[in-house]
Amino acid sequence: MFSEFAAFAVALGAVAAPASDWRYVDADARGANISFIDKDSIRTNTAGNIEAAMFSVLAQDDDGTAAFRFIVEFQCATGKSRLLTGEMFDAALKSSGPADMGADWEGNDPGTQGETILKFACSKGASMADGTSLGAELPLAKGRSILAERAAKGS
């Protein structure tokens, strides 16, 4: 499961440090997951690329996994991203511990969740109309709530 989601999430982009300002960025069009970025984690690395911590909540647990936190690196000029580290969380937010991803650079197609996440990170959070902070806690409950509301509305 982790490798399947990681392959999908490479198109999305993540930085693991204690978060203090989680922001909603985008949800998967099928309602399978929702992604948040810690705005305070967004930084330029020594290679000149942007890195950020991303937390992705699954609509339904998959083999005991409820969410993932990634450190993602973005090449803003090329529209590419890659996962640097990742960790799985269960519904109680118990972490599997971070693991190196060593992912290849992947493109983010226009109009996708990946592109929205890339734009958010590359603009250092300025690309979102709703800049509401969700605070410092990992947004598992909030993510599940948003996904359930969308499913109930059929969107």
Say whether 41 sits in a helix, a strand or coil.
Answer: helix
CATH number of the structural domain spanning residue 131 = 2.40.128
Quick: pLDDT tens for 99-117. Answer: 999 899 999 999 999 999 9
Q: Kindly provide the residue ranges of all beta strands, DSSP E only, lying in the chain, ordered along the sequence.
A: 22-27, 33-38, 43-44, 50-62, 65-75, 80-89, 99-100, 106-107
Q: CA-CA distance, 153 to 138, in Å (whole number)?
A: 25
pTM over cut 0.95: no
Residue 62: strand pairing partners: 65
Structural domain span for residue 34? 2-153
Quick: pLDDT tens for 121-153. Answer: 999 988 775 667 888 999 999 999 989 998 888
The domain tally of the chain equals 1
**How far apart, in Å, are the Cα atoms of 131 and each of 34, 125, 126, 135, 145?**
16, 8, 8, 12, 18
Quick: pLDDT tens for 7-60. Answer: 444 444 443 445 489 999 998 888 899 999 999 999 999 999 999 999 999 999
Residue 4 has a pLDDT of: 43
Say whether 70 sits in a helix, a strand or coil.
Answer: strand
Q: CA-CA distance, 125 to 39, in Å (whole number)?
A: 6
Say whether 33 sits in a helix, a strand or coil.
Answer: strand
